[in-house]
A and B are shown apart, each in its own frame.
Chain A
């Protein structure tokens, strides 16, 4: 289920800045960029993967290459508190019905805020090198820390 939301057909299909270049006469008026291909009603009630995002929206662009470290998510420890979802500056934490589903690696820039705000012990999100395999990262997950007396 998570897979379908995290990697939809339109997401991350292109590198940012690879748009077709046109002359001044066709440039977007006032550089005002529409997010959607057509009016969609109240976007708040439509899930991102169901919105008709336009090419001007970064939903379909990826900035994954900007990242050198990445957060890895551990479902077994997460308590679905939504703290990471609230704090993520790039709306790259994906949550459905208040259940944490994972990280949008197309837009996550690896800032580590989600790890910082995670309240569980051990943390449910930890930063690893970009090259680290997620399965191996999970295998290395630390134990619960004991309270020191």
Chain B
């Protein structure tokens, strides 16, 4: 039996440490990892837990992230609870195998510490890697601080391993802003956490020789489409389980999670939609503006995949102008979050004015002043009833003002 840890009611943990503790408490059978900044401490700490007897599991050192995720696929197909961590270039190298894992319906948990993608090389946080995973068939949940990273990692096992879901789950947090910022975290005790996560239930495991199975079959034009459609349906159906797990977690801890988080949205006239640690900056800014009587709010899709189409519509249908913030350079298009939020809002009667802001690339700070400026532009849009800025703007970049496309569509 693994040794237990006595945890304080409040611990001072950064996002990485919080996640490593959640992995330890979930008693993962196999962690195969190739460490990469800024997620390194997750697997580094986990390795120490294994070495010191706090986990009854295997820590597999591999030669690349491609191998790490491949080993995870093998271990999960064999019938174990499996997790790993990565960032950025490592995530990019894993991408091929991410699709394999989800296609084989293996409930692996991948804790991603979001970081920019080269070139130019950069170790700081943005959402380029998170966006790279958006079509990979994984559930993607986003944590905005260390407490959430801990909580959502525990929830991820429950969500992915549920027989109604049986899909791999990523838990994202922002590199450095979250992963390396020590904050107060209220952990569960080991027994409590493990009871919540539950004993792993193997399904169609390869190590059961009495009912041998083949994983990783080939399908061509006669079968491939049906399998992909079935997998997509599983993702589309997963919100039922996600909501249940969040509800049960709330009963246990009092901490509430929703697939779309709304802050100060009652009677809000304009809103910012964002992901990651900047949701907190935006909320802080909104609170300041609210004190002056300015009706602003923040909406965030906690669950990036499956995309909460209905909940986004509900959250934003009564506002006049929406700024959707993307922390990844879309390279010749609108930001991914903008596209999806806009598609959802196009199906509403109100069809608010929506524009896109590209911000924070490579770890550039998005300041309270930046967010105030964004809110002011939204209020100006709401005032005149049409967009007063380019549809897409860059904020926080040096040089001449950068923006693209115009529209005068009124309400």
Contact = CB atoms under 8 A, between A and B. Distances in A.
B229 interface: yes
B219 interface: yes
Contact of B210 (A25, A28, A41, A56): A41
A68 interface: no
Contacts of B226: 22-24, 27
**Residue among A22, A30, A32, A56 having the largest count of chain B Cβ atoms under 10 Å:** A30
A39 B211 contact: yes
Interface residues of B, number: 24
B233 interface: yes
Given A17-B222, A21-B222, A24-B230, A30 B204 contact: yes
Given A42-B209, A43-B212, A44-B209, A30 B229 contact: no
Contacts of B212: 34-36, 43
B209 A43 contact: yes
Contacts, number: 69
A60 to B, nearest CB: 14
A35 B214 contact: yes
Contacts of B225: 24
Given A24-B229, A42-B210, A31 B104 contact: yes
A1 interface: no
Contacts of B213: 32-35
B1 interface: no
Nearest to A53: B212
A25 B227 CA distance: 9
**Residue among A21, A32, A43 having the largest count of chain B Cβ atoms under 10 Å:** A32
B126 to A, nearest CB: 33
A56 B204 contact: no
A89 B105 CA distance: 28
Contact of B104 (A17, A32, A39): A32
B342 to A, nearest CB: 29
Contact of B227 (A17, A27, A39, A44): A27
A31 B217 contact: yes
B187 interface: no
A91 B209 CA distance: 18
Interface string B199-233: 00000100001111111110100110111011001
B166 interface: yes
10 contacts: A23-B226, A24-B225, A24-B227, A27-B230, A30-B215, A31-B104, A34-B211, A39-B210, A42-B209, A42-B210
4 nearest A-B pairs in the assembled complex, by CB-CB distance? A30-B105, A24-B229, A35-B212, A24-B226
